[in-house]
Chain A
Amino acid sequence: MTDIPKALTHPLTHLVNLEQPLNIEQYQAQGGYQGASKALHDYSPKQVLDLISESNLKGRGGAGFPTGMKWSCVPMFSEDDENAPEFKYLVCNADEMEPGTFKDRMLLEGVPHQLIEAMIISAYTIGANRAYIFIRGEYHLAAERLQTAIDEAYKASWLGDKIQGTQFKLELYVHSSAGRYICGEETALINALEGKRATPRAKPPFPQVSGLFGKPTIVNNVETLSNIPHILKNGANWFKELSPNSDAGTKIYGASGRVKNAGLWELPMGATIREVLYQHAGGLQDGLALKGLLPGGASTDFLLPEHLDTPMDFDSIGKAGSRLGTGGLIILDDHNCPVAMVLNLLKFFAQESCGWCTPCRDGTPWVVEVLTRIEKGQGTLADLDTLNDLCDFMWLGKTHCALAPGAVEPLKSALRYFHDDFEQHIEKKCCPYAKGH
Chain B
Amino acid sequence: MDIIKTTTIDFSHYLTEQEISAIEHEASIMEYREAAGIEALKIIQEHRGWVSDDSLYAIADLLQMPSAQLEEVATFYNLIYRQKVGQYVIHLCDSISCHLQGYDEILAAIKAHLNIDYGQTTNDGVFTLLSNVCLGGCDKAPTMMIAKQHYQQLTPESAIDILTTLKEKAVTAKTKKTKGSNAND
Interface residues of A (CB under 8 A from B): 87, 96-102, 104-105, 136-141, 171, 173, 175-181, 192-198, 213, 254-258, 262-264, 294, 298, 328, 330-333, 336, 340-341, 344-345, 347-348, 351-352, 354
Contact = CB atoms under 8 A, between A and B. Distances in A.
12 contacts: A99-B96, A136-B136, A176-B42, A179-B79, A181-B133, A193-B35, A195-B35, A254-B139, A257-B101, A298-B95, A330-B97, A341-B100
Contacts of A140: 148
Contact of A178 (B38, B72, B150): B38
Contacts of A178: 38, 41-42, 77-80
Given A195-B38, A351-B133, A352-B133, A341 B138 contact: no
A91 B148 CA distance: 24
A98 B134 contact: yes
B141 A180 contact: no
A352 B95 CA distance: 12
B138 A180 contact: no
B29 interface: yes
Contacts of A173: 29
B20 interface: no
Interface of B: 29-32, 34-39, 41-42, 69, 72-73, 76-80, 91, 94-97, 99-101, 132-141, 145, 148, 150
A139 B78 CA distance: 14
A262 B135 contact: no
Nearest to A143: B148
Shortest 4 CB-CB contacts between residues of A and residues of B: A178-B77, A256-B138, A179-B78, A262-B139
Nearest to A140: B148
A138 B35 CA distance: 20
Contacts of A340: 99
Given A99-B95, A177-B38, A138 B140 contact: no
B32, B35, B42, B139 pick with most chain A CB within 10 angstroms: B139
A141 B94 CA distance: 21
A100 B79 contact: no
Given A100-B97, A178-B77, A348 B38 contact: no
B138 A254 contact: yes
Contacts of B138: 99-102, 254, 256, 262, 328, 330
Contacts of B39: 175-176
A354 B79 CA distance: 15
A198 B100 contact: no
A375 to B, nearest CB: 12
A196 B134 contact: no
